[in-house]
Amino acid sequence: MLKFYYGLGTCSLASHIALEDAGLDYTAEPVDMKANQQNSPEYLAINPKGRVPALVTDRGILTETPAILAFIAQSAPKAGLAPLNDPFAFAEVQAFNSYVCSSMHIAHAHRMRGRRWATEESSFEDMRRKVPENVRAGFDLVENKLLHGPWVMGETYTICDPYLFTVAGWAKSDSVDIADFPKVAEHYRRMKERPSVQKVLTLYRA
């Protein structure tokens, strides 16, 4: 059985939703980020990066959201969460999730995790001022170039959709109104209607 480690308010939400979508047998273990449990010796033995998510499998432990999402899709091919028999289409899925991970998530993180990149308080303030602009630029690209609709990749729901849903849920805290991006806003609404999303969100509202 898979064991999934997650934290409230984090990107682990995307993989958590995908696990439900896939119908895989798993257990979920919360990591108390406010209590700094992610840096405890016990959790660092699971994920030396001190972050969530982490997925314990019978072959070892996986970290990083794009990797976990791809593993989930490939572990449950009948769920149809990625175009596994089409190398180019699957690469497009990976490209979208890589962009969310390397650009949109990082833009968001500059609001409260500036110490990862700088040491001066003035630098932190400068980063925070830049967050709305950078986050908005990410959603603008998704709205106009990457979100094909009604789902990210078009007519078929994939592992891209819970990831976009997750970062869209952070937009308000980054002073960005997703209502300014009609396709993204409609996607967010459709995601919230899915039973898998509703089930997982009950845990993330704890």
pLDDT for position 112: 84
- Interval 89-119: pLDDT, tens: 999 999 999 999 999 999 999 898 878 888 8
* CA–CA separation, 56 and 198 (whole Å): 24
Query: Which domains does the chain possess?
Result: 2-80+199-204 (3.40.30.10), 87-194 (1.20.1050.10)
pLDDT at 78 exceeding the cut of 90: yes
Instruction: Tell me how crowded residue 142 is: count the other CB atoms within 10 A of its CB.
Output: 22
Q: In the structure encoding, which two tokens stand for residue 198, read together?
A: 């509703």
* CA–CA separation, 23 and 199 (whole Å): 13
- Interval 127-157: pLDDT, tens: 999 999 999 999 999 999 999 999 999 999 9
Mean per-residue pLDDT, 54-74:
98
User: Is residue 206 very low, low, confident or very high in pLDDT (cuts 50, 70, 90)?
Assistant: low
Question: Helix axis angle, 160-168 relative to 182-192, nearest 10°?
Answer: 110
* CA–CA separation, 38 and 193 (whole Å): 31
The pTM assigned to this predicted structure is 0.96
SS3 content of the chain, % helix, strand, coil (to 5): 60, 10, 30
